[in-house]
Amino acid sequence: MGLVTISDLQAAADRIKGAAVRTPLLRFDDGLWLKPESLQPVGAFKIRGAYNALARLPEDVRARGVVAYSSGNHAQAVAYAAKLFGVPAVIVVPDDTPRVKVDATLSHGAEVVQVPMAQREVRAAELVAERGATLIPPFDHPDVIAGQGTIGLEVITDKPDVATVLVPVSGGGLISGVATAVKALSPATRVVGVEPELAGDAAESLRVGTLIRWPAGDRARTIADGLRAEPSELTFEHMRAYVDDIVTVSEEQIGAAVGVLARRARLVVEPSGAVTVAAYLARRSEWGSAGGTVAVLSGGNVDPEVFTRYL
């Protein structure tokens, strides 16, 4: 299986200029810097991969529109990227999706199709066939991985001496791209993934060297609702090649990190985005050393009630 290359990432960086924010590194303490992807237009890093994937489509193909099935940040990102290109987007969501998320997707000008959870993939495939549209997957695609990897390029540009980069892991698109960048530009830098203990399938898989599947019901237990997906063959190959370790954090540690980020870094970060800081705070003595650590904060879309609980 072909892995994404550093030149794929560099080309993606040129494409996404103007669509994604060039986020700064923010100093948190003597050992930790934050990469706040919560500041992206849709509140998450997903705009990088979605925009790059749309940009890579031939113009006549893109004009027929794009389809995504997701109720989360990826759906917002595909809808927003399609708006920027002026092409139609259809987002297929489960029929129990909260109204606020449906409204957010509609606000980007996308069409929203609500179906029972089990029919999402089938309905998306039908839409692709009916309209000649293109499916934009949330992580299992080289163009999506390359877009997410632009975060790694920026981290190494801004802090070439960084010792450790911490990255949330769900389907693995983000860490696949970031690790590709880091290992190409700064091979001595460690790339460490972070998962909730309650959705620690990628950590277990990397440890044993083969993809271990956890039941979706198990992965759904964590408050970190953006980290409930599981890696694909493609993203797992990237992890095996480039990721040094994957660690896990407890639900309590995740909630505490959301509160610390609000009070000390003045950032609204969703639980999925705060797992990296949770891991740092638990292992500061190990990672706070020379060179320091960068924690990728993947997103900031959190319900106000959940957020307030941790303040």
Q: Does 311 interact with a copy of itself (rule: CB under 8 A)? A: yes
Q: Does 26 interact with a copy of itself (rule: CB under 8 A)? A: yes
Q: Does 301 interact with a copy of itself (rule: CB under 8 A)? A: yes
Interface with a copy of itself (CB under 8 A), residue from 4, 13, 43, 196: 43
Stretch that binds a copy of itself, among 23-31, 113-121, 130-138, 276-284 (CB under 8 A): 23-31
Q: Does 211 interact with a copy of itself (rule: CB under 8 A)? A: no
| d(C-alpha 189, C-alpha 200), whole Å | 23
- Tell me the three-class secondary structure of 19-86, residue by residue: CECCCCCEEEECCEEEEEHHHCCCCECHHHHHHHHHHHCCHHHHHCCEEEECCCHHHHHHHHHHHHHC
CB closer to a copy of itself out of 24 and 132:
24
Task: Please return the burial class of 276, using the count of CB atoms within 10 Å of its CB with bins 0-12, 13-18 and 19+.
Answer: buried
- Contact characters 220-259, a copy of itself, x per CB under 8 A: ----------------------------------------
Q: Does 21 interact with a copy of itself (rule: CB under 8 A)? A: yes
- Three-state SS for 152? helix
Q: Does 267 interact with a copy of itself (rule: CB under 8 A)? A: yes
Minimum separation from the CB atom of position 138 to a copy of itself (A): 20
Active-site pick, 35, 46, 159, 183: 46
Cβ-based neighbours of 94, under 8 Å, separated by 6 or more = 71, 114, 115, 116, 117, 120
CB closer to a copy of itself out of 26 and 282:
26
Max CA-CA distance within the chain? 56
Burial 85-124 (b: 16+ CB within 10 A, else e): bebbbbbbbeeebeeebbebbeebebebbebeeeebeebb
Minimum separation from the CB atom of position 308 to a copy of itself (A): 6
- Three-state SS for 300? coil
Q: Does 91 interact with a copy of itself (rule: CB under 8 A)? A: no
Q: Does 210 interact with a copy of itself (rule: CB under 8 A)? A: no
List binders of a copy of itself among 102-121 (CB under 8 A).
none
| d(C-alpha 102, C-alpha 219), whole Å | 23
Q: Does 291 interact with a copy of itself (rule: CB under 8 A)? A: no
Q: Does 181 interact with a copy of itself (rule: CB under 8 A)? A: no
Q: Are 192 and 165 in contact (CB under 8 A)?
A: yes
- Three-state SS for 232? coil
The yes-or-no answer on residue 183 being catalytic is no
The yes-or-no answer on residue 232 being catalytic is no
Residues engaged in binding a copy of itself (CB under 8 A): 21-24, 26-27, 36, 38-39, 41, 43, 262-263, 266-269, 300-301, 304, 307-308, 311
